[in-house]
Amino acid sequence: QVQLVESGGGLVQPGGSLRLSCTTSGIVFEAYEMGWYRQAPGNQREMVATIDRFGYEKYVDAVTGRFIISRDNIKNTVFLQMNSLKPEDTAVYYCNARYYTDSWGQGTLVTVSS
Query: pLDDT above 70 covers what percent of the chain?
Result: 100
Per-residue confidence (pLDDT) for residue 7, from 0 to 100: 97
Per-residue confidence (pLDDT) for residue 87, from 0 to 100: 97
Per-residue confidence (pLDDT) for residue 85, from 0 to 100: 98
pLDDT tens per residue across span 10-32: 999 999 999 999 999 999 999 99
- Residue 68's alpha-carbon distances to 3, 18, 63, 110, in angstroms, are 23, 11, 9, 16
Compute the average pLDDT of residues 88-92.
98
Which residue, among 23, 34, 22, has the nearest Cα to 58 in the 3D structure?
34
Per-residue confidence (pLDDT) for residue 76, from 0 to 100: 97
Cα–Cα distance for residue pair 28/62, rounded to 1 Å: 31
What residues does 87 pair with on adjacent strands?
Answer: none
